[in-house]
């Protein structure tokens, strides 16, 4: 039995995917939602609720949840944390539920959850353990890049290539689309020096302008967080 590997470079390409049944979607948004979510679980967070706008985040705050929310790189005044992975490296978060406000990430997660059997969160931090878990599930896999305002971005596609490579090591899994081949090539071009490679990515420059690129080296650290965050209902939990 063979399972398929497909990559969607942006959420707007998800509707045209080839994979139609028996599949898991891996959502990735390397800078920064998926890196932060993976990091949060590694640091002991119990549950994350992805929310897509400030109003929804504020409602969670009013209902007693911890809230991570920022706008243009600044922590919103009602929020407990910003969206950076570094915000979750504190004992305060252990065992807690956090409402995490992310426009791109939440949109991709919600879109994926409509059709997929499971939705997992992928980052470089949990690359190998997620690949191992995915292969163990014996399902088709669609890697959905959150992108940036519906546009292709290099860091998410680069990660997609890394995950494609790991999945391809299984004799049961097979690439079925050109996007997965292309992502794999991008990964192979830059894998020996990820930070140098991603230097040219435009979103990185946007973060840099906002003085937020301190988290970049961490975001491209491989296998630092052995967790597999999976969506159930509207909540994400670590299933390991």
Give the shortest CB-149-to-a copy of itself separation in angstroms.
7
Closest CB to a copy of itself among 11 and 50? 11
Closest CB to a copy of itself among 122 and 190? 190
Give the shortest CB-50-to-a copy of itself separation in angstroms.
22
Give the shortest CB-4-to-a copy of itself separation in angstroms.
12
Closest CB to a copy of itself among 61 and 206? 206
Asked if the bond preceding 32 is cis, omega within 30° of 0, the reply is yes
Closest CB to a copy of itself among 30 and 230? 30
Residues lying near a copy of itself in the complex (CB under 8 A)? 9-10, 12-13, 16, 18, 149-154, 157, 176-179, 181-182, 185-186, 188-190, 200-203
Beta carbons of 225 and 40 less than 8 angstroms apart = no
Provide the terminal-to-terminal Cα distance of the chain, rounded to the nearest Å. 25
Helix axes 178-190, 154-168, angle to 10 degrees: 100
Phi and psi at residue 103, to the nearest 5°: -65, -60
Closest CB to a copy of itself among 48 and 163? 163
Q: What is the dihedral of CA 106, 46, 213, 224, to 10 degrees?
A: -120
HSE, CB side, 13 Å, CA atoms: give it for residue 137: 25
Distance of alpha carbon 235 from alpha carbon 216, whole angstroms: 26
Give the shortest CB-153-to-a copy of itself separation in angstroms.
5
Give the shortest CB-36-to-a copy of itself separation in angstroms.
21
């Amino acid at each position: 039995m063979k399972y398929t590997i497909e990559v969607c470079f942006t959420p707007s390409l998800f509707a045209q995917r080839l994979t139609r049944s028996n599949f898991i979607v891996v959502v990735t948004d390397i800078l920064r939602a998926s890196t932060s979510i993976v990091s949060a679980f590694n640091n002991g967070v119990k549950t994350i609720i992805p929310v897509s706008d400030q109003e929804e985040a504020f409602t969670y705050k009013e209902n007693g949840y911890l809230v991570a929310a920022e706008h243009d790189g600044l922590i919103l005044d009602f929020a407990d944390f910003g969206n950076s992975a570094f915000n979750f490296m504190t004992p305060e978060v252990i065992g807690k539920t956090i409402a995490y406000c992310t426009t791109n990430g939440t949109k991709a997660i919600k879109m994926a959850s409509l059709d997929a059997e499971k939705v997992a969160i992928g980052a470089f931090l949990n690359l190998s353990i997620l690949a191992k878990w995915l292969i163990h599930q014996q399902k088709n896999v669609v890697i959905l890049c959150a992108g940036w305002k519906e546009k292709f971005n290099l860091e998410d596609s680069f990660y997609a290539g890394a995950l494609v490579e790991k999945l391809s090591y299984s004799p049961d899994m097979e690439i079925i689309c050109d996007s997965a081949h292309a992502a794999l090539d991008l990964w192979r071009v830059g894998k020996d020096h990820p930070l140098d490679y991603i230097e040219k990515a435009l979103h990185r420059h946007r973060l840099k302008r906002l003085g937020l690129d301190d988290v970049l080296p961490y975001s491209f650290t491989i296998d630092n967080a052995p967790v597999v965050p999976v969506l159930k209902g509207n909540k994400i939990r670590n299933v390991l």
